[in-house]
Amino acid sequence: MSATKTLISVAEAAEILGRSKSTVYAALNSLPPRLHYHDVRRRLLLREGLEARFARSTRPRIDKPQAQASEAKSKTANDFEKQWEIIAKIANKTLDSSAWSGPPWSGKQWAVLAGTIEVGMEALDAET
């Protein structure tokens, strides 16, 4: 009688693990199986050590908070504007704005503009 108390169903295992029944079934039916039935005929799992066995064989949940690498500093709106001011200075030195009419621009003009911004961003990276 005590042996049946340590055996649990897939639904109970899913509730204990905080996962869906389909996740537990996927662990049972994967090749090679990540979990095993203790009683195959009645499809019951051994309760003892279930969390450890499941955790060893399963990747972490996507909604579980993961440790993130700390960023050097977060950028404020003021920092963002300063960066674009530096890029604009470099772009104004590179481009002759009097030769450009107002938008819409051709594909070549957009390419030149994108290239100029890229050069400005490289100069900005070199400064910092």
Integer Cα distance of 117 and 122 in angstroms:
9
What was the pLDDT predicted at 70? 60
Note down the domain range covering 19: 2-57
* Lookup: tokens for 103: 């938008």
Task: Indicate if the pLDDT at residue 1 is higher than 50.
Answer: no
Contact assessment for residue 54 and residue 27, using Cβ atoms and an 8 Å cutoff: yes
Quick check: is 91 in a domain?
Answer: yes
Quick check: is 17 in a domain?
Answer: yes
Q: Total domain count for the chain?
A: 2
**Residues 96-115 pLDDT 10s:** 777 778 778 788 888 888 88
Q: What is the DSSP letter of 66?
A: -
Task: State the pTM of this model.
Answer: 0.43
Quick check: is 71 in a domain?
Answer: no
Quick check: is 66 in a domain?
Answer: no
Task: Indicate if the pLDDT at residue 47 is higher than 80.
Answer: yes
